[in-house]
Amino acid sequence: MNMTQSKWSVGDIPDQSGRTAVVTGANSGLGIATVESLARAGAHVVLAVRDPRRGEAAAATVRGQGSIEVRRLDLADLASVHEFATGWQGDLDLLINNAGVMNIPEATTKDGFEMQFGTNHLGHFALTNLLLPHITDRVVTVSSGAHKMPGSPYIHFDNLNLTGEYSPITAYSQSKLANLLFTLELQRRLAAAGSPVRALAAHPGWAATNLQGHDSSALRRAFMRVGNRVIAQDNKAGALPTLYAAVEDLPGASYVGPDGFGEMRGGPTLVGRSAAASDPASARRLWMASEELTGVPFPEPAVSVRGQ
Ligand SMILES: NC(=O)c1ccc[n+]([C@@H]2O[C@H](COP(=O)([O-])OP(=O)(O)OC[C@H]3O[C@@H](n4cnc5c(N)ncnc54)[C@H](OP(=O)(O)O)[C@@H]3O)[C@@H](O)[C@H]2O)c1
């Protein structure tokens, strides 16, 4: 454990004046905590939310801490992702792919993708590639310790939507593994294109948020209600790994998580990932599949130009 890093706090965030950030899933949990800290440090922060009313209510709790605005983005609807991205003008320093759903009952996105894979991975995949020509600094994607749950999660390349074999836990861990493989391949592509933009990932450990309340199992919900009280850290502490990845000078593809027991809580530090999450061949294969499913490619020429 690195004691210097474990003491890192929001007070260590360097001045963000003049920088613009987008945070997805910004109206709740880790998202609103991330918004508050970046805005307080001087950034202009855009809350990308699927329900602008909930977004405005969340924004009201942090208004006065800095410059923020609310824009609609439904990651479970590619038309909404396109609308958000085409409406973007000017530079974007920081994209934080934070939104997510966990262990929900089987459902599909507007475009027919399994909801957890579609929201947590494919929506962010499309959003990132569409916004890349504007991005100047980095993309941080929020994964989870669930990417390496018992049972060794893997990407079901032959059935990405888990049709006929849906399990809420399998779908969540697949989507969070996809977040890490996405980061790996995005970083490889950015470096190959000569872009200075970096792709990084983070996970919060266990943080008490609204995430656990949507679980498909009443038993797991009850367990997590107790866990949220006795094990979890609050959303502000849970957002620290994301913030660390967003502002510290770290190598591309870095993965940041809490430094405490089981990476469940503690200060932000670099953490390891599963072998499945480190496999460049899987990362490329997932990228190709995601391009095909979303119809959104890596914007090679624009990114190369951006990197000059
Ligand atoms: N909390 C933890 O212990 C934990 C652990 C590991 C990883 N994570 C990850 O941390 C991230 C943030 O989760 P959280 O704990 O802060 O949970 P949360 O409080 O439930 O926040 C999730 C956010 O994602 C938004 N969202 C869900 N579906 C969306 C969609 N289709 N389009 C746009 N936004 C959507 C939610 O919006 P609504 O409010 O409209 O539903 C909400 O703002 C997730 O990626 C999660 O996987 C959390």
- pLDDT tens-digit profile of 287-305? 999 999 999 999 975 565 4
What is the distance between the alpha carbons of residues 64 and 84, in angstroms, rounded to a whole number?
25
Sites in the chain below the pLDDT cut of 70:
1-6, 301-308
The torsion angle over the Cα atoms of residues 103, 287, 123 and 30, rounded to 10 degrees, is 60
Does residue 228 line the site of ligand 1, with CB under 6 A?
no
Which of ligand 1's atoms lies nearest the C-alpha of 109? 31
Q: Is 98 in the pocket of ligand 1 (CB under 6 A)?
A: yes
SS3 258: strand
Pocket test for ligand 1, best of 209, 221, 223 (most atoms within 8 A of CB): 209
Q: How far is the CA of 211 from the centre of ligand 1 (A)?
A: 6
Cα–Cα distances (Å) from 240 to 8, 220, 248, 253, in that order, read: 8, 26, 11, 17
The distance from CA 190 to its chain's CA centroid, rounded to whole angstroms, is 18
DSSP summary character for residue 216 = S
CA of 29 to the centre of ligand 1 (A): 7
161 lines ligand 1 (CB under 6 A): no
Q: How many residues does the chain have?
A: 308
Q: Is the dihedral of CA 158, 298, 31, 51 positive or negative?
A: negative
Which residue ranges form the domains of the chain, and what is each CATH number?
A: 14-306 (3.40.50.720)
Q: Whose CA is nearest to atom 7 of ligand 1?
A: 144
Does residue 142's CB lie within 6 angstroms of at least one atom of ligand 1?
yes
Distance 25 CA to ligand 1 centre (A): 6
Query: Which ligand 1 atom lies nearest to the CA of residue 101?
Result: 27
For ligand 1, say whether the CB of 206 is within 6 Å of any of its atoms: yes
Query: Of all protein residues, whose CA lies closest to atom 17 belonging to ligand 1?
Result: 211
d(CA 64, CA 61): 9
Q: Which of 23, 30, 120, 180 to mutate to test the pocket of ligand 1 (most atoms within 8 A of CB)?
A: 30
CA of 301 relative to ligand 1 center, distance in Å: 32
Q: Is the CB of 41 within 6 Å of ligand 1?
A: no
Dihedral, CA of residue 82, residue 24, residue 69 and residue 132, to nearest 10: -50
Q: Which residues contact 8 (CB under 8 A, 6 or more apart)?
A: 240, 244, 267, 268
25 lines ligand 1 (CB under 6 A): yes
Q: Look up 244 and say whether it is catalytic.
A: no
Cβ of 31 less than 6 Å from ligand 1: yes
pLDDT for 148-176, tens place per residue? 987 778 999 999 999 999 999 999 999 99
